[in-house]
Amino acid sequence: MKQRLEVKLLSNVVGAEVTGVDLLEPVSDETIADIRKIWLEHGVIFFRNQPLTADAFQAFAQRFGDIVEYPFVKGLPDHPLIVPVLKMPHERHNFGGVWHTDTTYLEVPPAATMLIARELPPVGGDTMFASGYAAYEALSDGLKKTLSQLIAVNSSAKAAVTHSREDRMANDPAAMAKKELNSEHPVLRTHPETGRLSLYVNPGHTLKFAGWSEEESQGLLDYLFEHQVRPEFTCRFVWQTDSIALWDNRCVLHNPINDYHGHKRLLHRITLAGQKPF
């Protein structure tokens, strides 16, 4: 049975809460298609009060694509495709605690990421999201033309993000944890489903432009990194236990705010397979 969905915008350019669906009950293909349409329109969508088991969470994620492994941290012992996103009370760094798009250092980066909140601090631990579409559309025509000719070099070893993985890799390293992964992708990416262009660089992984030195690239990259997370391009999601987020890595950046030292925060993450950027 198709369910009647309601959408509440979190901002004018990115993010929406979806209500009117109980994920503990069977969800029809028609409802999944409607959810996907909302997701593609808003870049990241959120669901509240969905206490899914690991099995149910994985089954729901699979309705949106094939699940792939994260290269640096082991998954759960009984669900290896579900990765714990964990910060313990004694830790100072949080996992992925910098503006980034997931694993752009892969030749084929993921299309999407899904998180469910398991344990949260009493306050703090929100996640911010930014629209690559809005960032691109706000650029001048001259800069759009320049960027259309450029390729970004991305690395898993960039210092800005490696610190945010250290605690998890020390405790639960994956087989590829010691490898450095590198890729090259267009600075302006065409979304394979919507056809829209987005700005596809990020401070977590982008090192330089292909054919340029890091020093030559730095000034323009710094401008783009600041530009793409301007407040008017963002939304902020306040987590609650059993909340779910699904974001589109092909056009959205995110930044988990590290403002809850002394408290535990645990979410479970699933990554969905993508396509080579073009």
| CB-count burial class (<10 Å; 0-12, 13-18, 19+) for 45 | buried
Nearest CA-CA partner of 185 in 113, 276, 248: 276
Residue 100 designated active-site: yes
Q: How far apart are CA 214 and CA 205, in angstroms?
A: 13
Instruction: Point out the catalytic residue in the list 34, 42, 100, 168.
Output: 100
Residues 152 and 206: beta-carbon distance below 8 Å = yes
Residues 154 and 207: beta-carbon distance below 8 Å = yes
Instruction: Point out the catalytic residue in the list 102, 168, 185, 191.
Output: 102
Q: How far apart are CA 270 and CA 52, in angstroms?
A: 13
Residue 269 designated active-site: yes
Residue 254 designated active-site: yes
Residues 204 and 102: beta-carbon distance below 8 Å = no
Antiparallel, parallel or unpaired: β 44-47 and 16-19: parallel
Instruction: Point out the catalytic residue in the list 189, 254, 265, 268.
Output: 254
What region does 166 belong to: left with phi over 0, alpha with psi -120 to 50, or beta? alpha
Instruction: Point out the catalytic residue in the list 42, 265, 268, 269.
Output: 269
**Active-site residue numbers?**
100, 102, 254, 269
